[in-house]
Amino acid sequence: MRTLILLTTLLIGACSAGPQPIRYGEDACNYCKMTIVDQQHSAEAVTLKGKVYKFDAIECLVHYVSPLDETTFSHLLVANYDNPGVLIDAKTSSYLISPNLPSPMGAFLNAFDDANRSSAVQREMSGELHNWQSLKRTITTRNQIPN
């Protein structure tokens, strides 16, 4: 009986659909294949089945998930500009595209966990504010990263 409980616990734990730490300098972007080194612009997607996809830039995540059904993902995460390496919910984040804030793939895209903070940075650095939906439309329309 103990063995059955232990096996059940291990199977449930193995199927959890949770984020994984990004190994900066080692993991490759699932979209553009570049090595992920920038903690301020990384991103991650986790499917409901637990498959983890890692990205070197938020724009790579956007291009990867845009043609897919987002309901197949348990997590869509982006790096918080103010806390590099800390991943936050992509769908509730506020985004700033500013020519004064470069990102790895050239979209000048940064994510913030607070809309007031992104507005403050916009006043200082200029640029366009976006939510998740408007960001996806803007990035895919501009097609800044070839498929």
Q: Which residue has the tokens 């607070």?
A: 114
Domain assignment present for residue 37? The answer is yes
CA dist., res. 107 & res. 112, Å (int): 16
Domain assignment present for residue 12? The answer is no
DSSP-derived pairing of the beta strands 73-80 and 43-47:
antiparallel
DSSP-derived pairing of the beta strands 83-89 and 73-80:
antiparallel
Asked whether the beta carbons of 64 and 77 are under 8 A apart, the reply is no
Domain assignment present for residue 10? The answer is no
Provide the domain count of the chain: 1
Domain assignment present for residue 123? The answer is yes
Domain residues for the domain of 94 are 21-142
pLDDT tens-place string over residues 65-121: 999 999 999 999 999 999 999 999 999 999 999 999 999 999 999 999 999 999 999
Domain assignment present for residue 101? The answer is yes
Domain assignment present for residue 2? The answer is no
CB burial of residue 65 (10 Å; 0-12, 13-18, 19+)? buried
